[in-house]
Amino acid sequence: MSWQVIGPDFETEQELSPKSKRLNAALSAWIDGLTREQRAEFVDTLFSLVTASGAKNLSEISTARFKNINAVLKSFRELDKSERAMILKIFASLTGEIGKAYKSN
């Protein structure tokens, strides 16, 4: 699964790969378990971390992996304690859903 941004929108594909479909199902199940407020806070924080990396797509994140990780970690450390705790809790929940999706297929 990859993504690219064109202006304010994501570029989309006509069909997803089987792996992407499993990941999509896991993401949907995970999102359903969050409140609207948690979703908004998570997305805002996640995009601020991605913005800190300077990457425009997943290829750019993986190409300059160490540079990007350092920028993201620096930005993460600058979050307040409650935001960091929320991000870690939500990522743990997401990881669990992804694990369940891959075990069931």
Residue 1 predicted with pLDDT over 60 = no
pTM of the predicted protein model: 0.52
Contacts of residue 48, defined as CB under 8 A and 6 or more positions apart, other chains included, come to 75
Tell me the average pLDDT across 68-80.
83
What pLDDT, on a 0 to 100 scale, did the predictor assign at position 61?
Answer: 65
9 strand-pairing partners: 6
Burial of 93 (0-12, 13-18, 19+ CB in 10 A): middle
- DSSP annotation of 2 reads -
The structure tokens listed for 102 are 């891959």
Q: Predicted confidence band at 20 (pLDDT cuts at 50, 70, 90)?
A: confident
49 contacts 72 by C-beta, under 8 angstroms: yes
